[in-house]
Amino acid sequence: MADEKAARRYAAAIFSLARDAKLEARVGEELTSVSEAIDGDAALHGFFVSPVLSRALKERTLLATFGSRVHEIVAHAVVLLVRKRRETLLGEIVRQYHALERAARGGEPLTVTTAHPLSAADLDALVKQLESRFDKKFDVETHVDPHAIGGVRVMMGDRLIDATVAGRLEDLARNLFAQRT
């Protein structure tokens, strides 16, 4: 939770700089590319997150690897993460950055998770109902989680509505155990 909040602050700062430079999309793409490159190479990932290696060595290596390929906002952000020993936040920062990017385009991020894929008509009906209830436009992302068993879980920003069978079973178990003690 604390890491998510820290990542949100870093993402907001990066997004603010990118918006001022009118480079939101480019910075988002480049952040994603850097994160995927680091996560996609086991040696580079190990190097990037290693607490043993010096910050100066990491900075030099990252600037040599990505410095000329990405905008200075991205390069400086990655170097700042190294300086602050927050390298492990990069993936979450990218996710938060894209959420801010979607929100800036006019839609609040909305994640819909179901046990089975929703039909386009069902998803459309759900989104319209949520938009009218909360008087907002949403940028929808869908996920399938077989562990949900059935029902739907909706995440709007920091708000969670869990109407899944798995969620109900967890609530029931929690209540039963609470009554026993």
Radius of gyration, CA atoms only, the chain: 20
Beta bridge partner(s), residue 111? 141, 155
Q: Where are the alpha helices (DSSP H) in 41-164?
A: 42-49, 55-66, 72-83, 90-104, 120-134
User: Which residues are CB-neighbours of 6 under 8 A, at least 6 positions away?
Assistant: 86, 89
pLDDT level of residue 114 (50, 70, 90 thresholds)? very high
pLDDT of residue 1: 62
Beta bridge partner(s), residue 153? 113, 162
Q: What is the pLDDT of residues 20-52, one digit of tens each?
A: 999 999 999 999 999 999 999 899 889 988 989
Q: What pTM was computed for the model?
A: 0.62
Q: Is the pLDDT of residue 53 over 80?
A: yes
pLDDT level of residue 103 (50, 70, 90 thresholds)? confident
Give per-residue burial for 14-53: e unless 16+ CB within 10 Å, then b.
bbebbeeeebbeebbebbbebbeebeeeeeeeebbeeeee
pLDDT level of residue 181 (50, 70, 90 thresholds)? low
User: Which residues are CB-neighbours of 40 under 8 A, at least 6 positions away?
Assistant: none
Fold of 2-103: Peroxidase; domain 1 (1.10.520)
- Asked whether 163 and 146 are in contact (CB, 8 A), the reply is no
